[in-house]
Each structure stands twice: as C-alpha cells, then as structure tokens.
Amino acid sequence: MAKPTITCTPAENRINGEEVLSFVVSNDSVEVTFTNYGCTIMSVLAPDKNGHKKNIVSGFARPADYLNSHPYFGCVVGRFANRIAFGKFTLNNLEYQLPVNNGPNHLHGGIAGFDKKVWRVKNVISDEDAAGVAFSYTSADMEEGYPGKLEVTITYSLNANNELILQYEATCDQPTIINLTNHSYFNLSGFSDATVDEHLLKINAKNYTKKNEHNVPSGEIAPVENTPLDFREYKRIGQNINELITDKGYDHNFVLQNSTGAISLVAELQEPVSGRLLQVLTNQPGIQVYTANWWDGSITGVQGVPYLQHGAIALETQNFPDAPNHSNFPSAALSPGEVYNTTTTYRFTVI
C-alpha cells in the first residue's frame, strides 16, 4: 500500500468571513475528501472487488454547497449528537433549556451546531503511516444553550490499511455535556442502487434503547431478539425495514457489546454485488442506525442521482440519545480537568 498523501485546496468563497478549505487524503486505494466547514466528509472513493472506485457517501461537490439545507451529510454534530427530550437537562442541580429543532426535541446541537461552524486547521498530518488534519473549534459558554466554554479537537486521518480514523477530544472550563459523532451516510454500491435494502448489516448488540411516543428513549434497555432490530448476524437491511412504520425505517440506538471502553469492531456493512465491506470500530457505547427515512429525492448529490428514501445508511457511533436525562445510561457529563476522548474507525475493504 502506498504512503498516504494529503493535498489542500482553498474554497472559492469564504463562509461567515472565514477561510474554507478542502483536503484530499489518499493511499492509492482509498481517497477521502473533507472540509473544515462542519468537519464534513465530502466523499470517500473506495474500490470494489475488481478495483473499480466509486464515491460511497452522500454529499456535494463543493464546501459552499453545504450551506444549502441538507440532512447532516458527512458532518460532525454536537455539542450533543442525537436527541434531548424537550431540549431540557439538569446538571449539578441547574436546569438548562436548549433550542427545540426536531418536533418537541433538541437534535444534533441545535439551530447552529458544530455542523455549521468553520473549524480552524490546527495541524496537518503527513508521515509514513497516515495523512490527515486536526481541526479545532471553541464553543463559547451558553452557545446553543450549553454551559461552559468547550475546546474541541477532531482529527481525521487515513492510514495505509484503508482505515479512516476519527478522533474526538474536548475539554471544558465548567461542567457541561457532550456527545460527538460523524453523520456520514453510506451506500456501498456508490449509489448505483437507489436504496440500501440489499446491503447486509451486522451489529454487535444484544439490546437497544427503547423509544417513547416523542422519539426519545423511555429509559428501558430492551433486547433486539424477536424484533426487526436483530442484526446480531448478517441480515438484509430491507428484510424488516417496512415493519418500522412510525420511523419509516431504522432510526434506533443500539447498545454495543464493548463495555470495556476499548476500541473494538461493532458493526459491518456489506454490499454483495460490489463486494465492498465497511467495518466500524469504536470505543463508544452506542451506535445510531439511520436509514435515510425522510429522503425524498429532492436533493441530487455529487453522484448525479436523486437521494431517495432508504438511499443510504448512517452508522453514528455515540453515547445514548437523551443520556443526560437517564441515570442508567452512560454519563454525558464533562467536568473541568477531564478530557472527552473517543475514537471511531471506518475500515474499507472487500469480500
């Protein structure tokens, strides 16, 4: 495998007066493009079993295109990924109200979350083993209603083993909550197939966080056995997807079997025709599986085809949704002197 390389290109326009850049990292097998606007992964060119490359993630051609409305293509969401019930949480006996932007709930950091920020380029990585960029952002005290100033660094790097490694670090100056993830959507056919119904999915999870009528966890940890959410062995995504009528597909948090906190293999996604295989490794306790249930063909992406319902799948490694409001969930609290530190790896290979 070739030594990973990186190139940088300034965008045509500034966003919010700040310089926007795009970066291409490549090891001659896999090529990934990302931008400092929203820490967004714009494309992933990955080979099939015959060596033919296609872009397997949803997205646009230029960073400026992400200013238009879209369902979080490829970006980092935070401070708190996923939903917080009614936008409320209590921390150290103080109640906080966050913006409500998804029905009755707060979603993905609010109105202007991390996906809409221009991140600073902190460091460019280029060595024998990997190439990538460390991005940083300072979230001010009470930005989007969250307490405390938060210093965040997110590093994207591609190594010689076709692994895209996402490292998240953060510190704060007063108690706050945090839950970061990347929101890339994958279609391993390169969107040659309009849906991911024929993809095979496997998740290392015996349980999931059951939801209530407001689409947030009830607090109950329920078994996946005898439900459409049982992916303990490989299963076609389309096999049971139409049984999930309220959500129009999968939009569920799985409780991962990696309680030690070590980075481990938690999910695998296969596309049988191309032979592409995506493996997801993380030290996070949960993974949100979302099958683009509300895509309706109104957005045409860089592949030149409309993005249709169930056209891709997001595998969002994370803490549990609404974790601050459930004492039996892993804590989402971060205090001064502590370091939030999580890692997720997307490994691209073939079968």
Residue 138 has phi, psi (to 5 degrees) of: -105, 115
- Comparing CA positions, the residue from 25, 276, 62 lying closest to residue 164 is 25
Q: Is the dihedral of CA 309, 315, 316, 321 positive or negative?
A: positive
C-alpha span between 235 and 5 (Å, rounded):
36
CB 160 within 8 A of CB 25: no
CB 79 within 8 A of CB 98: no
Scanning 171-295, the segments in alpha helix (DSSP H) are: none
214 is catalytic: no
Q: Is 64 helix (H, G, I), strand (E, B) or coil?
A: helix
User: Tokens in use for 4?
Assistant: 């990973």
- Rounded to whole angstroms, what are the CA distances from 138 to 18, 107, 119, 120, 141? 14, 20, 9, 9, 9
Q: Tell me the Cα Rg of the chain.
A: 19
Report how far Cα 261 is from the mean position of its chain's Cα atoms: 19
268 is catalytic: no
Residue of 268, 310, 316, 326 marked catalytic: 316
CB 292 within 8 A of CB 185: yes
Residue of 31, 143, 163, 183 marked catalytic: 183
Q: Which residues are catalytic?
A: 183, 316
